[in-house]
Amino acid sequence: MPKRPLPQPTPETQEFWDGARRHELRLQRCNACGRAYFFPRPFCPRCASDDVGWFTASGKARLYSYVISHRPAPGFKDDVPYVIAVVELEEGPRMMTNIVGVEPKPENLPIDLPLQVTWERQSDEITLPLFEPSGGAP
């Protein structure tokens, strides 16, 4: 049984979820202006070009902002407290995710903390990209 409510792949996001199953972080990049972006969509959010393509991101990121949640949410009961974060990927896009592999305390979560993607299989369809400190837990 899934531990938490799962995203539903759509035609626009199927490539992202297919990549996640292979542990590849798939992003799109605009060939007109060169900007990488997330979440997937058929037009560049910056210049509206439809000349866009997929590539595999490095999986490296930095902590941009976060909250430590102590409130059990549906499907999150086993994980309290947990870290809901926005990370800035090396390629530029920001992504909402969870930080794992570290005690959820502010002293362990300085802004700009180097992170790397890690994968958590949820179902046959969905593997979620989560992030952990790239130097391992302090």
- For Zn ion, the binding residue among 6, 33, 80, 96 (CB under 5 A) is 33
Residue 100 Cβ vs Zn ion, minimum distance, rounded to whole Å: 33
**Cα 79 from chain centre:** 18
Contact in structure between 85 and 98 (CB atoms under 8 Å): yes
Residue 73 Cβ vs Zn ion, minimum distance, rounded to whole Å: 35
- For Zn ion, the binding residue among 49, 58, 65, 123 (CB under 5 A) is 49
Sheet of 36-37, strands arranged across? 36-37, 26-30, 52-56
Residue among 44 and 63 whose Cβ is closer to Zn ion:
44
**By CB under 5 A, how many residues form the interface with Zn ion?**
7
Residue 44 near Zn ion by CB under 5 A: yes
Residue 38 Cβ vs Zn ion, minimum distance, rounded to whole Å: 14
**Residue 132, C-beta contacts closer than 8 angstroms, at least 6 positions apart:** 99, 100, 101, 102, 115, 116, 118
CA angle in degrees (0–180, nearest 5) for 89-75-117: 20
Residue 30 near Zn ion by CB under 5 A: yes
Residue among 23 and 46 whose Cβ is closer to Zn ion:
46
Residue 100 near Zn ion by CB under 5 A: no
Q: Considering Cα of 41, then 44, then 50, then 55, what sign does the dihedral take?
A: negative
Interface contacts to Zn ion, rule CB under 5 A? 30, 32-33, 44, 46-47, 49
